[in-house]
Structure 1
């Protein structure tokens, strides 16, 4: 039966219109996984010798056990934000004689085939081999390794629970918040007894049964949680919600594009995926803290220009790059209306301009770092409005991957709506501001570099109609291909 499930999923993937794009994404993800795996292997080999050199009077094994809890917590946080949980179209399977237990076991089994489960293997397996070479007891080391990998899979099923059930999420977050508070305010160092527990786990190999029993319990809890809702009437019944309306009449001042702006604001307010992107774009405001607080970057002004563009370009880089995929669920209806394509594109441009402006206002605390830095942020905002917005809309003409608006996917890892072409389009968005600033900076001075970057944005605004006309022609040429691609869901 597992073979049959795998065959059905492969047919669904290979027969889709996005097959080639999906293959390209998988290849890119494979190279990224290979890169991080190599880093993990080198880290796993070197950590023993690094600790031995740094603290020669302390057993590296004891040090690793003392800090193992931090690794597991970090692993859980990364999983929550980045691990894409497996999905399966179960409605057709409910009408044929296949046991519910079989489908649920297969779905939970798919969670095991995740990069996040294999990454600890690349760290702890080399570390385990080093321990054995250094003469540590074989049984103790092997049982410790099995315990750590078992706890990794426990994290996998904990993540499954907190993503599917808000009660589990708030319970675990509350417990972690209490532990962190006790640790930070030195009321009780929770990490110390946990470190002792992991060292005991190493010294007493038979205790490997505890993580195994915990894994079985978590698997069973997940199994029962899924089984509760695994009914045909539960799957096909629609959840009725009261939709709150808001007065958006103030947008009428924008004339004929007001209807599109209202539609976009409602889309963001009422759907899960746009809300995620909006929250993620807010985090871009803090991007400058990575660069402006480091003395090393002060000697590399080109990277400061890069950071300044990101500070105000969060919404443009996240929401804007997925135009027109946001409208994929009703794109056919939208294109059948008697409305100019130009108005549709202009509304998206105004939406990005407003977002950049708001981000610039919110970035005023960066005045703390001086007028030069804030001037660079202002120049970056003008570049985003005048050039970056048009480059983003141009990339949208090549984006024909639909988006499911209410899929609560990971904002940092979800490839729904992703197109490899976007990576190529991203190159001028990232490199152009650095180039526009660096050349005049190198030839003249810092202030001239800022002026040229800002002037490029002003020129883009002046030639707004020219750029929009060119982009409109691209959208018009690919209109029917886009409609056909959006008609087929991922």
Structure 2
């Protein structure tokens, strides 16, 4: 029966009208997966020697165990954002004589066959190989490897449970932040007692049973959770929710584009996918911490310009790139109304401008790193408003892949609305500000680069009318092709 399930899912994938587009995206994802696997492999090979180099007079394997907890915590957070839980259309199987236990076991078994469970192999197997090469006890090293893979499976099934309750996820994120804070400021070395626990999986091989039992227990917990709702009436019934209306009259000051702004705000508040993207855009605010805290990047300011675009441009880059796909479910109705296309595009531009402005205000704590950094962020915000917003809108004219608003998929891994053309459109948004900053910086100084980046954004704002006219012409030309494309469903 499992073989039959696999055969049916392959036919569903292959016969889909989106097979070619989905295949192209999956090829890109495969290249990304190969990159991360290669990086993990080389990290696994070098981890022992790096620990030996940087932490003197301590067994390198002890050092590795002290920090392996962070791998698993980051793995769990990474899974929450990226790991799209496998699904299958189970309704047809509920009315034919197939044991529900078989279907549930198949669903849970699919979760173990994923990139997120394969990646740890490329890290822990090389570490184990180095341990054997260095003369560590073979049996203990192998049981340690099995324990690491058992904990990986625990993360896999724990992610299933966390997805059912966001409270668990935010609690986990808070714990991770506290651990890093305590470690970074030398308040308390959380890694040491946890490292002792992980190292004991090597010194006492019989403890391998603990992560294996934990993985089995989490599997049973998931099985019980799915089994409790595995009924036909539960699968087809719809929850009734109280209907609420919102006036949003404060948006009327924007005149004729107010109706579109109200529609977008309601879309974000009421639907799953836009909410996820909004949360993702907030996370972009912390992107600068990767660059502004490292002295290395201070010596390469062009990367600071790159970071400044992300700090204030999270919403623009994530939500904006899916214009007009957000409206795909009612795009035909929208285009049949007696409304100027220009107003529709202008409303999207104002929405992105407001989001950039709010992000800039929220980025005020970056003043801590110096006024030069904050000036860079301000210049990046102007560039986002004056140029990146129009580049994003232009890219939307080439994006004809629909988005299902209430599909509860991961904002980071959901490829609905994605097409490879967006990668080409993204290049000027990333490389452009770096070039505009770098040339004056190299010829004059740092401040000249900031001023050039800011002036480019101001010029874009001044030419708003010209840009919108050109973009409107492109949208009008492809209007009916876009309507036809949005009528296709996966």
Give the TM-score normalised by structure 2: 0.90
Secondary structure in structure 2 of the residue aligned to 1:401: coil
Q: What is the rounded CA distance, in whole Å, between the counterparts of 1:148 and 1:267 in structure 2?
A: 43
Q: Deviations over 1:156-199 (max 9, x none)?
A: 00111111245765786788799899999999977555444433
Counterpart in 2 of 1:363?
363
Q: What is the rounded CA distance, in whole Å, between the counterparts of 1:178 and 1:34 in structure 2?
A: 32
Secondary structure in structure 2 of the residue aligned to 1:404: coil
Secondary structure in structure 2 of the residue aligned to 1:164: coil
Matches within 5 A, 1:198-277: 198-277=198-277
Alpha carbons of 1:344 and 1:308: their partners in 2 closer, same or farther (altered >3 Å)? same
Matches within 5 A, 1:27-42: 27-42=27-42
Structure 1 unaligned regions, length at least 5: none
Matches within 5 A, 1:350-429: 350-429=350-429
Q: What is the rounded CA distance, in whole Å, between the counterparts of 1:360 and 1:189 in structure 2?
A: 35
Q: What is the rounded CA distance, in whole Å, between the counterparts of 1:167 and 1:451 in structure 2?
A: 44
Cα offset for 1:430?
Answer: 0.8
Counterpart in 1 of 2:294?
294
Counterpart in 1 of 2:157?
157
Alpha carbons of 1:454 and 1:171: their partners in 2 closer, same or farther (altered >3 Å)? closer
Alpha carbons of 1:205 and 1:400: their partners in 2 closer, same or farther (altered >3 Å)? same
| C-alpha RMSD of the superposition | 2.9
Q: What is the rounded CA distance, in whole Å, between the counterparts of 2:324 and 2:219 in structure 1?
A: 40
Alpha carbons of 1:16 and 1:470: their partners in 2 closer, same or farther (altered >3 Å)? farther
Q: What is the rounded CA distance, in whole Å, between the counterparts of 1:373 and 1:71 in structure 2?
A: 31
Cα offset for 1:260?
Answer: 0.7
Q: What is the rounded CA distance, in whole Å, between the counterparts of 2:337 and 2:103 in structure 1?
A: 43
Q: What is the rounded CA distance, in whole Å, between the counterparts of 2:187 and 2:464 in structure 1?
A: 60
Cα offset for 1:375?
Answer: 3.5
Alpha carbons of 1:369 and 1:164: their partners in 2 closer, same or farther (altered >3 Å)? closer
Counterpart in 2 of 1:9?
9
Alpha carbons of 1:85 and 1:477: their partners in 2 closer, same or farther (altered >3 Å)? same
Is contact 1:332-1:483 (8 Å) kept? yes
| Larger deviation, residues 59-68 vs 177-186 | 177-186
Counterpart in 2 of 1:315?
315
Cα offset for 1:344?
Answer: 1.2
Q: What is the rounded CA distance, in whole Å, between the counterparts of 2:167 and 2:361 in structure 1?
A: 37
Q: What is the rounded CA distance, in whole Å, between the counterparts of 1:184 and 1:6 in structure 2?
A: 47
Alpha carbons of 1:133 and 1:434: their partners in 2 closer, same or farther (altered >3 Å)? closer
Alpha carbons of 1:401 and 1:131: their partners in 2 closer, same or farther (altered >3 Å)? same
Secondary structure in structure 2 of the residue aligned to 1:459: helix
Counterpart in 1 of 2:83?
83
Counterpart in 2 of 1:46?
46
| Larger deviation, residues 338-347 vs 369-378 | 369-378
Q: What is the rounded CA distance, in whole Å, between the counterparts of 2:437 and 2:183 in structure 1?
A: 45
Q: What is the rounded CA distance, in whole Å, between the counterparts of 1:210 and 1:4 in structure 2?
A: 34
Is contact 2:55-2:63 (8 Å) kept? no
Q: Deviations over 1:191-229 (max 9, x none)?
A: 555444433332333332222222221111101101111
Q: Deviations over 1:345-370 (max 9, x none)?
A: 11111111122222233334444555
Cα offset for 1:268?
Answer: 1.0
Counterpart in 2 of 1:123?
123
Give the paired residue count. Answer: 490
Q: What is the rounded CA distance, in whole Å, between the counterparts of 1:380 and 1:187 in structure 2?
A: 36
Secondary structure in structure 2 of the residue aligned to 1:313: helix
Matches within 5 A, 1:187-202: 192-202=192-202
Q: What is the rounded CA distance, in whole Å, between the counterparts of 1:292 and 1:60 in structure 2?
A: 30
Alpha carbons of 1:161 and 1:346: their partners in 2 closer, same or farther (altered >3 Å)? same
Q: What is the rounded CA distance, in whole Å, between the counterparts of 2:146 and 2:421 in structure 1?
A: 42
Alpha carbons of 1:441 and 1:346: their partners in 2 closer, same or farther (altered >3 Å)? same
| Larger deviation, residues 304-313 vs 155-164 | 304-313
Give the TM-score normalised by structure 1: 0.90
Is contact 1:326-1:405 (8 Å) kept? yes
Alpha carbons of 1:489 and 1:134: their partners in 2 closer, same or farther (altered >3 Å)? same
Alpha carbons of 1:168 and 1:449: their partners in 2 closer, same or farther (altered >3 Å)? closer
Is contact 1:161-1:169 (8 Å) kept? no
| Larger deviation, residues 346-355 vs 187-196 | 187-196
Q: Deviations over 1:226-245 (max 9, x none)?
A: 11111111111111122443
Cα offset for 1:297?
Answer: 2.8
